[in-house]
Amino acid sequence: MQTKIRRYDLDWLRVIVFGLLIFYHVGMFFVPWEWHIKNNTIYSWLQWPMLFLNQWRLPILFVISGMGTYYAFGKRTVRQFNWERFKRLGIPLIFGILFIVPPQIYFERLANDQFIGSYWGFFTTVARDGIYPEGNFSWHHLWFLPYLLIFSWVLSPIFLRIRKNPGKFVQWIKRFVAKPLGLYWFILPLYLWESLVEPFFDITHDLIRDWFAIINYSTLFFYGFVLISLGDTFWESVEKIKRKALIIGSVCFVGLMICWQFEDGYTRHFTEALLKVVNLWSWILVLFAYASQYLNRPSKTLAYANRAVYPFYILHQTVTIAIGYYLMNLDWGFIPKAIILVVGTFGISWLIYDLIILRIPLLHPLFGLKKPKAVSKSKLYRFPDI
């Protein structure tokens, strides 16, 4: 039976990882990788810390979302759950596509000399000119929401069955997880997807041709649901394995950096695929273990940040791109621009959230906000869903 305990550490992890997303998108302004707008000076060295984050930041978000789904199923039928998913994910997605994302594309078109004119003149083309990148209609950074919504809908019958009747399946998983390094068995499907599916399907975030991302992220989402259903067995296992996982993750990332220096080929591909999945899974286990040890306690800061993180996620990239557009051609160097982008993104997102969104109840469902509720300590903890 699931232990009745509030997992503040999962809230903290969710807040921290979404916070890192803001730093990551600021970094995209400066590195050689393709992005919506680019700085006039590119800093290749910055790609290394970003590559480190990039290995596990999205995987752990899907795992945490799967854990949240376990609690969301507590007293809901499949139909109730799927409707609630649409309200929490679908409505903010629709609103975001129509009103939050278009300014990003507007500034991108201006920066690339693909449009001249006012924002209103551009906005009238969003629904008319087709799908991005040829047209101006896109969900951009909000791609996470439709993926999570589809995964939730498709897997909901399986989740409900596991939630209501864990039985032999959960007991079987517990036996594996309780063994030394037993949590590393979860790597096997991830390795199959990375080695046999990824070479044929580039990540597109378009939900149509994105088969590797769909299979890979849905597996991680399912893992989150299963792991949290194990109760204390999971938390005891990550506690025992955390130091080994930290060493394994560090060695694997160094191995990846070495591997990336060689030309593509079958040997490199299968070696890189193994290093990738062991690396990302190790860091996920490390983060869960140390968060459980040091962050599993309430605070007023957490209560505020945990509610704010979803609106921040929706708003932040538009703010970053808007600021970046006015900085991109200035000869100010990396540090001043990075500070302005980070402080500006957090600051403006906070002002919009605290002074506008929170104070206008009609905006709450558009940004995925529920009414705050006091949760009794005797009840199972239900943390937000993304």
- What are the tokens at 386? 């993304």
Single-letter residue type at 239:
E
**Which positions ≥6 away from 283 have C-beta within 8 Å?**
55, 56, 60, 245, 249
**Nearest by Cα to 66 from 277, 288, 273:** 288
**Nearest by Cα to 35 from 110, 141, 142, 119:** 141
**Nearest by Cα to 319 from 140, 70, 114:** 140
Q: Per DSSP, which regions of 4-45 are E strands?
A: none
**Nearest by Cα to 103 from 331, 354, 317, 369:** 317
Please state, in angstroms and rounded to a whole number, the distance separating the CA atoms of residues 106 and 108. Answer: 5
Q: Which residue in the block uniquely carries the two structure tokens 């009745």?
A: 4
- Using N-to-C axis directions, what is the helix angle for 334-352 and 8-28, rounded to 10°? 130
Q: Is 308 in contact with 367 (CB distance < 8 Å)? A: no
Three-state DSSP at 131 gives strand
**Nearest by Cα to 322 from 100, 113, 46:** 100
- The DSSP code for 127 is T
**pLDDT of 308:** 97
Burial of 160 (0-12, 13-18, 19+ CB in 10 A): middle
Please state, in angstroms and rounded to a whole number, the distance separating the CA atoms of residues 215 and 226. Answer: 16
**Nearest by Cα to 153 from 196, 206, 89:** 89
Please state, in angstroms and rounded to a whole number, the distance separating the CA atoms of residues 220 and 323. Answer: 34
**Which positions ≥6 away from 107 have C-beta within 8 Å?**
36, 37, 321, 322, 324, 325
Q: Is 193 in contact with 219 (CB distance < 8 Å)? A: yes
**Which positions ≥6 away from 137 have C-beta within 8 Å?**
97, 126, 127, 129, 130, 131
What's the half-sphere exposure (Cβ side, CA atoms, 13 Å) at 51? Answer: 16
pLDDT one digit per residue (tens) for the chain, 386 residues: 444 467 899 999 999 999 999 999 999 999 999 999 999 999 999 999 999 999 999 999 999 999 999 988 877 889 999 999 999 999 999 999 999 999 999 999 999 999 999 999 999 989 888 999 999 999 999 999 999 999 999 999 999 999 888 888 899 999 989 998 999 999 999 999 999 999 999 999 999 999 999 999 999 999 999 999 999 999 999 999 999 999 999 999 999 999 998 877 777 889 999 999 999 999 999 999 999 999 999 999 999 999 999 999 999 999 999 999 999 999 999 999 999 999 999 999 999 999 999 999 999 999 999 876 654 443 434 444 56
Please list the alpha-helical segments (H only) found in 129-231.
Answer: 144-164, 167-177, 187-192, 211-229
- Per-residue buried b or exposed e for 49-87, using 16+ beta carbons within 10 Å of the residue's own CB: ebebbebbbbbbbbbbbbbbbbbbbeebeeeebeeebee
Residue 237 dihedral angles phi and psi, to the nearest 5°: -70, -45
